[in-house]
Homo-oligomer: A and B are copies of this chain.
Amino acid sequence: MLIVLSGPSGVGKGTVRQAMLADSFKDFKYSVSMTTRKPRPGEKDGADYFFRTKEQFQQHIADGEMLEWARYVNNYYGTPLGPVNATLDQGQDVLLEIEVNGAMQVREKCPDGVFIFLTPPDLQELKQRIEKRGTDDAATILKRMEKARNEIKMMENYDYAVVNDKVNLAVKRIEAIITSEHNRVPRVIDRYRKMIGV
């Protein structure tokens, strides 16, 4: 099963992903991303990222070997397809933690993946803030409203929306989603059918 964790910039995807990797539940393999940016001190190739040259990355794109990719500023970032398929072929879940544009690329290629949108808690606080103005000026509120509107628009393309109010709570919700999805009838019924040969 392919699990895609995504959400708006700054919502804390990376922190939630790290907490998931540190948790005892960890019943999946994290998919290491590929990038052309230089490694920072302490970062290891194959663990933090696959560090590649621009030429190598472009070749991967040309060869159809990227599940999703994007260019930010002057660097490429993406998910190499090979390790994802290898893990899925072993019958193990794969976790991707990627940007919303990348998630939409994956959705097209893997519609039966599990798409989780991490939402900022301030989306919930927004109404209260609007109701008791005074602390924020009108321009700030309008900007926040616009951001919230965009986030809700993005959410429509996902299966689940998980509030990142507290990291450990968000992790528990995501783990429940993973357990739950493994019990969904469309995912298990073929296994049952094969058992009795129908």
Chain A contact residues, CB within 8 Å of chain B: 117, 119, 123-124, 126-127, 145, 148-149, 152, 155-156, 158-162, 172-173, 175-177, 179-181, 183-185, 188-189, 192-193, 195-196, 198
CB–CB B183/A160 < 8 A: yes
CB–CB A173/B177 < 8 A: no
**How many copies of this chain does one complex carry?**
2
Q: Secondary structure of the A side of the interface?
A: helix
What is the CA–CA distance of A140 and B192 in the complex, to the nearest angstrom?
19
Whose C-beta in chain B lies nearest to the C-beta of A172?
Answer: B179
With A117-B185, A155-B189, A176-B180 as given contacts, are A196 and B126 in contact (CB-CB < 8 Å)? yes
Whose C-beta in chain B lies nearest to the C-beta of A192?
Answer: B152
Partner of A183 from the list B162, B179, B196 (CB cut-off 8 Å) is: B162
CB–CB B162/A173 < 8 A: no
What is the CA–CA distance of A198 and B124 in the complex, to the nearest angstrom?
14
What is the CA–CA distance of A54 and B160 in the complex, to the nearest angstrom?
45
